[in-house]
A and B are shown apart, each in its own frame.
Chain A
Amino acid sequence: MDELELVMASQEGDRLALSMLLRNNYPFLVRYLMKITMHPQLAEDLTQETMMKAMEKIRLYNGSSKFSSWLITIGTNLYMDVLRKQKREQAWHQEEQALRKMKWQVESQGDEWPELLDALARINEGIRIPIIMKHYYGYSYDEIGRVMGIPSGTVKSRVSNGLKELRRELADDEQ
């Protein structure tokens, strides 16, 4: 069965079809959420919440975007909700802790944690998400705007300013 057939069967209540559909998109979703959150545990939790939400709303999926894009829209919104509910300071502490843990894990494998990822983790998520979507996944500004619920012009300026900020941070680190 191809993706469209799985979607149609899922919308008619076929649980096995929905399981297959979610399983096929699971690694993509976890990896995406890991990159935007920079927090592997949070990414896993958000993936499971996204799957539940997708199950609840599967009848609303109209096929105008790829199923994976629909899933990352749900996942991104859930992440933004988590950040809104958390106090800024609490969120910052958790992010720092997760980042330290990731660095330690990488360094214990004998690799070096890139400074660029450090800088990326430090910038605001409203800027980090469009940068990752644009420069890693290759989404267009319009698509990113639809996922984040903001105009494409805003996405463009966030990506451009975000890259400048990253370069500045890297230059500061080098000095």
Chain B
Amino acid sequence: MNNKDKENSSKAAKGLQTEQELKSDLAKMEEWFPVYTPDISWFETRLAAGEKKLRRKKNREWAFFYMLAVVILGSIIAVGAANPIYFICIQLLGLVIVPAVIRYEKRKRVV
């Protein structure tokens, strides 16, 4: 065995020792800090509360979405009724801008 081989095998042995030490020390951690698992009713109560919170959050988001839709549609109808030419301009602008943005985004992704 030459010097380089000796050095490599000593490094490997040290590595193995650290790995084993790591395993045993982390296992000791489990003994020092035992985990108490609550009973099933605790989980059910938590989940029921979580579901309620989630439902409330979804309702809030839907309400916000509908309000925003009403505002946007209302403004478009108001503009269209008062000045049809503005309405047509907005529509034409949308027809040009949307494909341009999509094309730009696609090109960016390829690059």
Contact = CB atoms under 8 A, between A and B. Distances in A.
Interface string B14-29: 1100110111011111
A21 B43 CA distance: 10
Most A Cβ at <10 Å: residue of B26, B37, B50: B26
A20 B41 CA distance: 10
B33 A102 contact: yes
B44 interface: yes
Given A23-B40, A55-B47, A135-B19, A30 B26 contact: no
B5 interface: no
A132 interface: yes
A26 interface: yes
Nearest to B50: A52
Contacts of B35: 26-27, 30-31, 34
Nearest to A118: B25
B44 A166 contact: no
Interface string A111-123: 1001011001000
B69 interface: no
A20 B43 CA distance: 8
Nearest to A23: B43
Contact of A48 (B23, B32, B46): B46
A11 to B, nearest CB: 14
Interface residues on A, range: 35 or more
B22 A131 contact: yes
A34 B29 contact: yes
A25 B38 CA distance: 12
B43 to A, nearest CB: 4
A27 B21 CA distance: 23
Given A40-B33, A51-B46, A111-B32, A136 B54 contact: no
A146 interface: no
Given A19-B40, A136-B26, 9 more contacts: A15-B44, A30-B35, A35-B29, A51-B47, A102-B32, A116-B25, A136-B27, A167-B15, A170-B18
A32 B102 CA distance: 43
Contacts of B40: 16, 19-20, 23
A173 interface: no
A80 B29 CA distance: 22
Given A56-B54, A116-B18, A26 B47 contact: no
